[in-house]
Amino acid sequence: MSVPVVAAEGVSKWYGQVIGLNDITVDVQPGVTGLLGPNGAGKSTFLKLITGQLKPSQGTVRVLGEPIWGNPALYHRLGFCPDQDSFYERMTGQQWVTALVRLNGLSETDAVEAARRALDTVGLLDAADKKIGAYSKGMRQRVKLAQAVVHDPDVLVLDEPLAGMDPIARRKVIRLIKGWGREGKSVLVSSHILHEIESMTSTILLINNGRILAEGNIHQIRDLIDEHPHTVRIQADDPRRLAHAFIEHDGVRSLTFEKGAVVVETGKPDAFYGRLTQIAASGELGEVHEVSSPDDNLQAVFEYLVK
């Protein structure tokens, strides 16, 4: 087995009386690894420990064989895409990525060139000179990815990179992440949606209540997921026409409407997401703006796992 990209040994993190991570020992191997867990499970805490933004209360975190805490020189080899929006809305995508890559030590000229390449990689070159404030949710996620890869890191840490994206952008980003994995980068990507993680990798770390529940290639989770209904909220131009198309789908168990959105409960998430992507790509039922999935589905599975 090769040297682990990330090695956490006996790592705990407390926020005062609240425990964020509880005595985690895990090795993350090269390649794409999914970090899967419901909201509040400790995913973001784990990723912030890996990127050296938090100091473990106990234990050690090593990245590429070196301790990450207090070792900014190692950040040259790391790319981090946080879950929160972190933008200056008045800057253009090009300006923002250029400014950030300069912190990696690139000269002004090289930084401009590197930023253009990174924006091209994530499919945002056409919008490079637009202000970030005018970007859609999917574009904002992609410009965050651009700043994470712009300095060509060996390890990419992506916190919920698909959150809120429309199906087309989601597909593009999944392809990008898989592509980076094929190029030899190690990617650690978090999500609370198994379907998303599965489309990128079969290597999964399951995390809940601050503990790693399981790691490796966990196909059994698939079966468990399928036993629980999966809820998807779709924000679109015409939710009622979308709903009409979904009714014909045999996996759909229920449909409810919210303002500008339809919430679908399905027993066959794979097939459903496939159909949704087709509909969004064709554009025949209007534009699909945002797809999100509450983590209740996964929570049910985790509750089952820890029984």
Q: Whose Cβ is closer to other proteins: residue 102's or residue 222's?
A: 102
> Hey, what are 256's tokens?
């409810």
Q: Cβ 58 to other proteins, closest distance in Å? A: 15
Q: Of 267-306, which residues contact other proteins (CB under 8 A)? A: none
> Own/partner pairs for 301-304, CB < 8 Å, 24+ apart?
301/194, 301/221, 301/224, 301/225, 301/228, 302/37, 302/38, 302/41, 302/206, 302/208, 302/213, 304/224
139 and 170 Cβ atoms separated by less than 8 Å? no
Number of residues near other proteins (by CB under 8 A) = 46
The answer to whether 106 contacts other proteins (rule: CB under 8 A) is yes
Member of 103, 247, 281, 306 binding other proteins (CB under 8 A): 103
Nearest-5° angle of CA 161, CA 299, CA 294? 50
Q: Cβ 114 to other proteins, closest distance in Å? A: 7
How many C-beta neighbours within 10 Å does residue 257 have? 11
> Hey, what are 286's tokens?
């209007």
Q: Whose Cβ is closer to other proteins: residue 119's or residue 242's?
A: 119
Distance CA 180, CA 182 (A): 5
Torsion sign, CA atoms 297, 303, 306, 307? negative
Q: Of 7-36, which residues contact other proteins (CB under 8 A)? A: 15-17
48 and 80 Cβ atoms separated by less than 8 Å? no
Task: Show the binding pattern over residues 175-204: x = contacts other proteins (CB under 8 A), - = does not.
Answer: xx-xxx-xx---------------------
The answer to whether 126 contacts other proteins (rule: CB under 8 A) is no
Q: Of 49-68, which residues contact other proteins (CB under 8 A)? A: 51-54
Alpha-carbon dihedral 56, 57, 59, 63, rounded to 10 degrees: 0
Q: Whose Cβ is closer to other proteins: residue 72's or residue 216's?
A: 72
Member of 22, 117, 241, 277 binding other proteins (CB under 8 A): 117
Q: Whose Cβ is closer to other proteins: residue 183's or residue 248's?
A: 183
64 and 77 Cβ atoms separated by less than 8 Å? yes
Member of 19, 64, 99, 305 binding other proteins (CB under 8 A): 99
Q: Which residues bind other proteins (CB under 8 A)?
A: 15-17, 48, 51-54, 72-73, 75-76, 78, 80, 82, 84-89, 99-100, 102-107, 110, 114, 117-118, 120-121, 147, 149, 151-152, 175-176, 178-180, 182-183
